[in-house]
Structure 1
Amino acid sequence: MSTPLWTPSANRIANSRLKAFEAWLAEKHQLAFDDYQSLHQWSVDNPESFWESVWQFCNVKAHSPYGKVLEHGGTFPTCGEPSAAWFPGATLNFAENLLRRRDDKIAIVGLLENGQRRELSYAELYTQVEQLAHTLREQGVEAGDRVAGFMPNIPETVVAMLAATSIGAIWSSCSPDFGFQGVMDRFDQIQPKVLFAVDGYFYNGKTINTLDRVKSIADAIGSVESVIVTSVTCARTDLTSIVKAIHFPDALNPAAAPLHFAALPFDHPLYIMYSSGTTGTPKCIVHSAGGTLLQHLKEHQLHTDIGPDDVLFYFTTCGWMMWNWLVSGLASECTLVLFDGSPFAKRGRLLLDAIDREGITVFGTSAKFIAALEKAGHKPSQDYQLASLKTILSTGSPLSHESFDYVYRDFKQDVCLSSISGGTDII
């Protein structure tokens, strides 16, 4: 038998969220398992009991309870209609579950390639969402409306998504490196009422202006009634050329009414994502609020062992589902580290520096990035302490066995390295 690359210590196992889940099952439901395989098999054989347990263990916040866990719909659908309904009767709000913590703990650290760094506490995040949601309601945004983001991976994007979804609006986003037609192929299908946009971004040592594209997009999509612009590349961008445009800070109403979270069905639409567009116009993929929340709570806490003491980072743009996955970490009360720019800035050292400086415990990246570090001759274990780092996640493509060897040889020996799957269709 081959030797495992890594085995968790007895202490790590004993203090894991998965072990806590197992103990919770024993206490609440008198279920006992001899090993992980038997616990996993139980979850497969008893999907209703498993998902109800995830709901309860992860403390999903609901406005009204579910009548049953699963309502079967008979035969497998042939025309796109779902064959089953999960948690019928339950109402909840996605944003409320991500904003369950409202104290001075740091919720978000925002990093830019040019060195800019900002922090938002959970209390500050809640206040900004409250202020922005008030403005969106004043602009006529209602449950079911679409709100689009042509935005980089910065704190304002998270605030915008949470404000929209607190109302029950459906969020959809593209990265600002998308060209005009790429954005139109996506947003023109969904007809957003509000467009969040950015004046530009920093990438690979360059400053890229996006304001002309913002104007073209806003002019071309007839449904857009308001454009809310964040200034990244300058102090305050001149918006006179864009009809109905306001600055993001001006959309934060200091006299906002208390934040009201709309109570919505479990299967209420939350996100619209898109297929790659390799076989024609990108196809819309709709994900529900309850399904996304429960899936991410399960993946974060039971798969990735994320809790309130963790600092979670994933390199992603807002055009990739890993951004949606990352942001859901707020529901597990951890700190998110957002980065916008090139992952290879300063030969990759910018992201490696962040591990020690921010105390990152879960570092998410791509197989390409890990391979590039090895090719460049980086030996992080020699140049960094990496004391906080407990998990490295890789996705986007399968991680080669050479990269596994590189991580345990030159990155860190005591780390859980997982080649995971994202998946636009399963979020």
Structure 2
Amino acid sequence: LFILYSSGTTGMPKCIIHGHGGTLLQLVKEHQLHSDIKPGDRVFYYTTCGWMMWNWLVTSLASRATIILYDGSPLVCDTSVLFDLADTYRITHFGASAKYFDALKKMHKMPGKTHKLESLKYVLSTGSPLLTETFDYIYQSIDRDICLSSISGGTDIVSCFMVGNPMGAVWSGELQSRGLGLRVEVFDENGVSVQEKKGELVCTAPFPAMPLGFWGDSDGSKFHKAYFSDYPNVWSHRDYAEITEHNGVVIYGRSDATLNPGGVRIGTAEIYRQVEKIDAIEESLVVGQDWRDDVRIVLFVKLRSGQTLDDNLRDDIVKVVRKNTTPRHVPKKIVAVPDIPRTMSGKIVELAVHNVIHHLPVKNSEALANPEALQYFENIEALQQD
């Protein structure tokens, strides 16, 4: 049905083959049961054709919904263009990346006051974890009566492991539920299923949207290494996550990008959630730097126009991270950069930056939308000092 390339955030993009029946069944389930898409609904998701959310969006035609397409920047017309579409075409389901909603929040936009949004009943977000504060922003500034679903899956399964639940409660900062028919669990370091504890996100039983394999991987060895090498017959999704007391899920970042200062495992999203509350910061990227037989946390920030990384801003960053997490989460080095490298689908590439600061080769530069940004991380003097 689909042949998709992964984004390349953690290495060379994988060429993934997705089958017909299982993929369609999975997506129709997500649309109709988890997103309440009905015949006649109008579904919009801001996405490029290179992101799996394009496939997700197009497949809503199987539920006899109408899809709305838009090609261009989401921030033109004083950032109102997407909500103009929502009014003009009476959109019922409005989806975009978490970064888009975060940007609206930082610009103090109030779409619920500037637009009618009379048909809107569902807002979806994916691409990265939606901040707790952004949950609050969407309900306060867009519409209090919509169902807000932060969802997560990936190109690997061209669908979601964590989805919405139109009949359930929405808890700020949590993905509402695990998908029906999917045995999604979190394993601790001993491979034991746990709840209310951080660990590896896994799926312990076969599922309809499991890919058929990788193109050109005739013996299946690359496919097995990618998903089944950690635990026998268990799909490892490479997310560092926690199942909450509400049976929701919190994702703390990619498990292969977790930080280990002093041997304590920290998800990168735990730091992003705090840093991106600060209006002066447009975007950030955090990595671990090997330093004196340990790992220290290095935070790179791209500042908004007119802002400077001075001592006051550094202090603000340190204070907000320490107050809302732990002293171990506080970056040892904070460095301003002109740009942050990202994939074609907009995901930041922590592994590539990690390799650059450690003078290691970057294997996935062809997958980057702005590979020239990697030069900003080379030979940084501050990273050669205590």
Q: Which range, TM-score by smaller chain?
A: 0.3 to 0.5
- Greater helix share, 1 or 2? 1
Normalising by structure 1, we get a TM-score of 0.36
Larger radius of gyration: 1
Normalising by structure 2, we get a TM-score of 0.40
